[in-house]
Amino acid sequence: MRFYTGQHQHYCGVDLHARSMYLCILDQTGTVRLHKNVRATPEAFLKAVAPYREELVVAVECMCTWYWVADLCAAEDIPFVLGHALSMKAIHGGKAKNDRIDAHKIAVLLRGGMLPQAYVYPARMRATRDLLRRRLHFTRKRAELLTHIENTNSQYNRPAFAKKLTYAANRVAVSERFADPAVQQSMAVDLGLIAYYDGMLRELENFILRTAKHHDANALYRLRTVPGIGKILALVILYEIHDLTRFARPQELASYARLVKCASASAGKIHGTSGAKIGNVHLKWAFSEAAVGFLRKNPAGKAYYERLVRKHGKGKALTVLAHKLARAVYYIWKRDQVFDQEKCLAA
């Protein structure tokens, strides 16, 4: 975890909401210079902090509304710090909690060099990353519809489908399997929504792919040289990592991707693991999917996986393989090289 340790003349903690924001500004001695609730608009924010603009730094907890504050601070040349929500225990652990207390705590943590930092994703690629995450949401909704069709088929004890319903050609005459008109209508609704999702997802993927080629076409190409990493997984990895230089070592990337279990220890005794939810859930999904895809039509990969199974068991073996792929991605990106499977599996 990285902490912001910069020294400034004024420290501004912001408890940010959709329509309002509570500001607390401290000076170098810890004296409160401003405690004020204002509207969540650029004009109100700049007017409130105007008397303290000299050597001012602003901190906001990483919630869903921080984009405009980060962009405003960048435009006004004000240092901006994004607080890691899960690691800011002091904000959530007090006896009393309200906007005034939270803003003061953020300012105190910022001044004391104890504010855990989250990554401030740049505005240039932020919208495309969010669109890619939205695409994953729609994909899961489509999968729910396919699952509902399968479950309904089992519910009425109909013969199993001969082929996967993922493909449109295999979904012909699904409604005719059922005699009840209400069930037929239910299936027709599911099939119509699936067909709509198919077209929408295709358009989304084409748009994101065209945009990604303008951002970093070389990195996108190199990522796809890894067996198991296709178009979508390469896009997710590209946009969720964005800047590899923020990871000094491959272990840091693996930790950020939730592929490392951290021990919880005290006085030499280990009490289990911790931090399972700290990191990027989208990278965790991408590398886990890549580990499964790595084994398809890959005899060398399967042989390596079998060795991992004998040593660690099936569940942990896939996690170890995902961790290795994350390390491989780190070096592919850093060294501008394509994937070398022989070298990766021999390491």
The answer as to whether 224 is a domain residue is: no
Q: Are residues 154 and 241 in the same domain?
A: no
Query: 102 with 182, same domain?
Result: no
Q: What is the extent of the structural domain holding 38?
A: 3-116
Residue 235 shares a structural domain with residue 341: yes
The band of 215, judged by pLDDT with boundaries at 50, 70 and 90, is confident
Q: Assess if residue 226 is contained within a domain.
A: no
Cα–Cα distance for residue pair 223/240, rounded to 1 Å:
13
Domain membership flag for residue 222: no
Question: 194 near 146, Cβ under 8 Å?
Answer: yes
Cβ neighbours of residue 147 closer than 8 Å, sequence gap 6 or more: none
Question: What residues form DSSP beta bridges with 34?
Answer: 25
pLDDT at residue 44, rounded to an integer = 96
Region 197-210: mean pLDDT is 95
5: number of Cβ within 10 Å: 11
pLDDT at position 344 over 70: yes
Q: Do both 130 and 108 map to the same domain?
A: no
Tell whether 239 and 341 lie within a shared domain: yes
pLDDT confidence tier of residue 222, bands split at 50, 70 and 90: very high
Residues 235 and 203 in one domain: no
**Rounded to whole angstroms, how far apart are CA atoms 130 and 64?**
12
Higher pLDDT, 290 or 271: 290
Domain boundary pick from 63, 84, 116: 116
Evaluate whether residue 237 is within a structural domain: yes
Q: Using an 8 Å Cβ cutoff, are 17 and 102 in contact?
A: no
pLDDT of residue 85: 86
Residue 94 has pLDDT above 80, yes or no: no
Q: Comparing C-alpha atoms, which of 26, 78, 89, 81 is closest to residue 59?
A: 81
Average pLDDT over residues 316-325: 94
Cα–chain-centroid distance for residue 345? 27
DSSP 8-state class, residue 248: S
Mean pLDDT of the chain: 92
CA distance 323 to 290: 10
**Least confident range of 24-28, 93-97, 207-211, 322-326:** 93-97
The CATH number of whichever domain residue 63 belongs to comes to: 3.30.420.40
Query: Given this model, what pLDDT does residue 309 score?
Result: 95
Do both 206 and 246 map to the same domain?
Answer: no
Domain assignment of residue 221, yes or no? no
Task: Count structural domains, the chain.
Answer: 3
* pLDDT digits 0-9 by tens, 123-154: 999 999 999 999 999 999 999 999 999 999 99
Asked whether residue 337 is assigned to any structural domain, the reply reads yes
Q: What predicted TM-score, i.e. pTM, was given to this entire model?
A: 0.88
Give percent of the chain above pLDDT 90. 83
In sequence order, what are the residues at sequence separation of 6 or more whose Cβ sits closer than 8 angstroms to the Cβ of residue 213?
Answer: 220
Q: Give pLDDT, residue 264.
A: 79
Q: Are residues 102 and 117 in contact, defined by beta-carbon separation less than 8 angstroms?
A: no
Average pLDDT estimate for 160-173: 92
pLDDT tens readout for residues 28-74: 999 999 999 999 999 999 999 999 998 999 999 998 899 999 999 99
Is 223 a domain residue?
Answer: no
Indicate if 106 and 142 belong to the same structural domain: no
From 82, 116, 150, the end of a domain falls on 116
Indicate whether 323 belongs to any domain. Answer: yes
Same domain, 48 and 79: yes
